[in-house]
Amino acid sequence: MSKGEFRNLKGEGKPLSNNQNRNPYVDFITHKLNEILIENGFSPEWITLHKEIQDNKTRLRNDLLTERKYFGPYPLSVEENIKWSDRVYKYKEEVDKINKKITQYNLVVPIVNKQMLHIRLESEAQKVLLDGKNCNEILQFDTNMERRSDSKPVIQTSSSGEVTVNLFSIFDCLFKGK
């Protein structure tokens, strides 16, 4: 080796190919096909389904949170509870569509640990009902923002009802941490 007998070999001085990422249980042709598909932006059906399901679940939760804003604090009165149930029931079709996608995903996903449970509209609605902000909390937050103890209020309302924001007060609040 020190005599330079191997200096004329192909690839001399270059790093070895990175085959550590290769699955030893997959034949070379399948590995190359997967490599080509990944390089060209293809993703398997189960990955795109997972992304769609997560997006749909997030949209459903956000919609339920938006609906929650129109009700009072928990526990709801009997009337509000009936109205809440009616509003939640509007999302039954959407939950059925998400659950169909979850079923399809569970059939296609290659790893059993990646399978997902179906969504239960009742449990999602209950979480939102308990954790979501109601109209009173939102109004209270807005009035607290207006009632700053600073000498320079962040939000000012003129006699004509026009709302103005003092830019310097915002910077003061940010840098003082108030």
Q: pLDDT band for 4, please (50, 70, 90 cuts).
A: confident
For 26-48, write each residue's pLDDT tens digit: 788 888 888 888 888 888 888 89
Give the model's pLDDT for residue 149. Answer: 46
In a domain, 33, yes or no: no
Q: Could you check whether the bond before residue 75 is cis, i.e. omega within 30 degrees of 0? A: yes
Helix (H) or strand (E) holding 157: strand 155-157
**C-alpha–C-alpha distance, residues 109 and 101, integer Å:** 12
Q: Give the number of other Cβ atoms within 10 Å of residue 102's Cβ.
A: 20
Predicted pLDDT at 171: 55
Higher pLDDT, 102 or 174: 102
- 46-78 tens-digit pLDDT: 889 999 999 999 999 988 888 887 777 777 778
Query: Is 63 inside a domain boundary?
Result: yes
Q: What confidence category does residue 95 fall into, taking pLDDT thresholds of 50, 70 and 90?
A: very high
Across 139-143, average pLDDT: 50
Helix axes 121-131, 92-108, angle to 10 degrees: 120
Which pLDDT does position 75 carry in this prediction? 75
Q: Is residue 166 part of a domain?
A: no
Residue 161 lies in a domain: no
88 and 125 Cβ atoms separated by less than 8 Å: yes
Q: How many separate domains does the chain show?
A: 1
Q: What is the pTM of this model?
A: 0.58
User: Is 30 among the domain residues?
Assistant: no
Q: Is residue 96 part of a domain?
A: yes
Residue 170 domain-assigned?
no
Domain assignment present for 11 = no
User: What's the mean pLDDT when you consider all of the chain?
Assistant: 76
Higher-pLDDT residue of 13 and 118 is 118
What range defines the domain where residue 80 resides?
45-135
